[in-house]
Amino acid sequence: MSVKTKILLVYTGGTIGMVKDYNSGALKAFNFNNLMNSIPELKQLDCSVDSVSFKEPIDSSNMNLAHWVSIATIIEENYDAFDGFVVLHGSDTMSYSASALSYMLENLNKPVILTGSQLPIGDLRTDAKENLITSIQIAALRQNNKAVIQEVCLYFEYKLYRGNRTTKINAEHFEAFASLNYPELAESGVHLKINKEYLRKTKSKKQLKVHKQLNDDVVILKLFPGLNKNVLESVLNIPNLKALVLETYGAGNAPTDKWFLKGIKEAIKNGLYIVNVTQCSGGSVLLGQYETSEELESLQIINGKDITTEAAVTKLMYLLGIGVSPKLFKTLFETPIRGEMQ
């Protein structure tokens, strides 16, 4: 008798498991058991599905570091007993969580697939069923007795993405996510098409190592014409601040005003890590391409290349958490560790 592939569903909350409060009209989280009852199709799958739920499911706008540790711990404690994991999560902060988990789960060689939906599972036109069922099918894919997917992914509206390459781009469309700097890992149509050449291949036989120390002394500052000295100084002087993601223009460009460059220069000199990330949804920082980024390069700003803001801010939390030394910090940040940048 063949042994069935075992998938663990981890329900954290989000629209996928929400119901309408008919008095107020607002969506609120409901009991996970209802979700299982709402999809009898789950019983038809050729794998066994167990589930575990957050005691109090959350709207993902309430996601935080402690919740990431909870998800990672559930995966760690069930790692040997299951072949793959599907994490049900609100779409609002799903790209942040997928990025954080990708760093936290070192040596991952099983699939961890985050999914959710734009419409609640009970809604007539829901996108939840397809997202959930296909995520489970993808998590259960095996070849030569090994998982086909061995990384943290995000599945939404017929597409599987590398999780730390995604961004939520639409609050209404079913196609809510994009991965503009990395191709889709799989597409679901009549057939499930896996783009094998883009998958992360884990050669190492090392044990899963779960990193639970994350540091939240970080901030994101998006440049805009009119950003004034007061604002910059207030941000740079946040007590205890360790790292800043600077969302610059285009290919990594920023104003050349003396006060601006002086502020950045002094902050870096005083030990603040500043990462240059483009505020464009796609493309890469190319330091030195324009005069407006030359100076930043000479100040030893960290080059975020084509990383997303979500993957950058969580990478900072992770690198600060594991205690990377100041000497190595820039080099390590600029090196891809989970396929999050070129």
Chain positions contacting ligand ASP, by CB under 6 A: 13-15, 59-61, 90-92, 116, 118
**Residue in this structure with the two tokens 């992914």, named with its chain if needed:** 153
When CB distances to ligand ASP are compared, the closest residue is 90
Residue 55 CA to residue 77 CA, distance in Å, equals 17
Known catalytic membership, residue 15: yes
Minimum Å gap between C-beta 29 and ligand ASP is 8
**Residue in this structure with the two tokens 């600060």, named with its chain if needed:** 320
Minimum Å gap between C-beta 76 and ligand ASP is 24
Minimum Å gap between C-beta 122 and ligand ASP is 14
Residue 272 CA to residue 121 CA, distance in Å, equals 45
Phi, psi at residue 276, to the nearest 5°? Answer: -90, 115
Minimum Å gap between C-beta 91 and ligand ASP is 3
Q: Which is nearer to ligand ASP, 83 or 127 (CB)?
A: 127
Q: Which of 101, 120, 126 is CA-nearest to residue 111? A: 101
Catalytic residue among 15, 126, 309, 314: 15
Residue 2 CA to residue 142 CA, distance in Å, equals 13
Q: Which of 101, 132, 108, 112 is CA-nearest to residue 14? A: 132
Minimum Å gap between C-beta 171 and ligand ASP is 8
Stated length of the chain: 342
Q: Which is nearer to ligand ASP, 70 or 78 (CB)?
A: 70
Minimum Å gap between C-beta 16 and ligand ASP is 6
71's CB contacts (< 8 A; 6+ apart) are 10, 12, 87, 97, 101
Q: Which is nearer to ligand ASP, 65 or 324 (CB)?
A: 65
257's CB contacts (< 8 A; 6+ apart) are none
Q: Which is nearer to ligand ASP, 84 or 116 (CB)?
A: 116
Q: Which of 115, 117, 99 is CA-nearest to residue 186? A: 115
Q: Which is nearer to ligand ASP, 83 or 92 (CB)?
A: 92
Residue 47 CA to residue 141 CA, distance in Å, equals 10
DSSP state of 265: H
Q: Which is nearer to ligand ASP, 24 or 44 (CB)?
A: 24
Minimum Å gap between C-beta 105 and ligand ASP is 21
Q: Do 314 and 166 form a contact (C-beta atoms < 8 A)?
A: no
Residue 256 CA to residue 254 CA, distance in Å, equals 6
Phi, psi at residue 40, to the nearest 5°? Answer: -60, -25
Q: Do 65 and 320 form a contact (C-beta atoms < 8 A)?
A: no
Residue 30 CA to residue 97 CA, distance in Å, equals 21
Q: Which is nearer to ligand ASP, 20 or 265 (CB)?
A: 20
Active site residues per annotation? 15
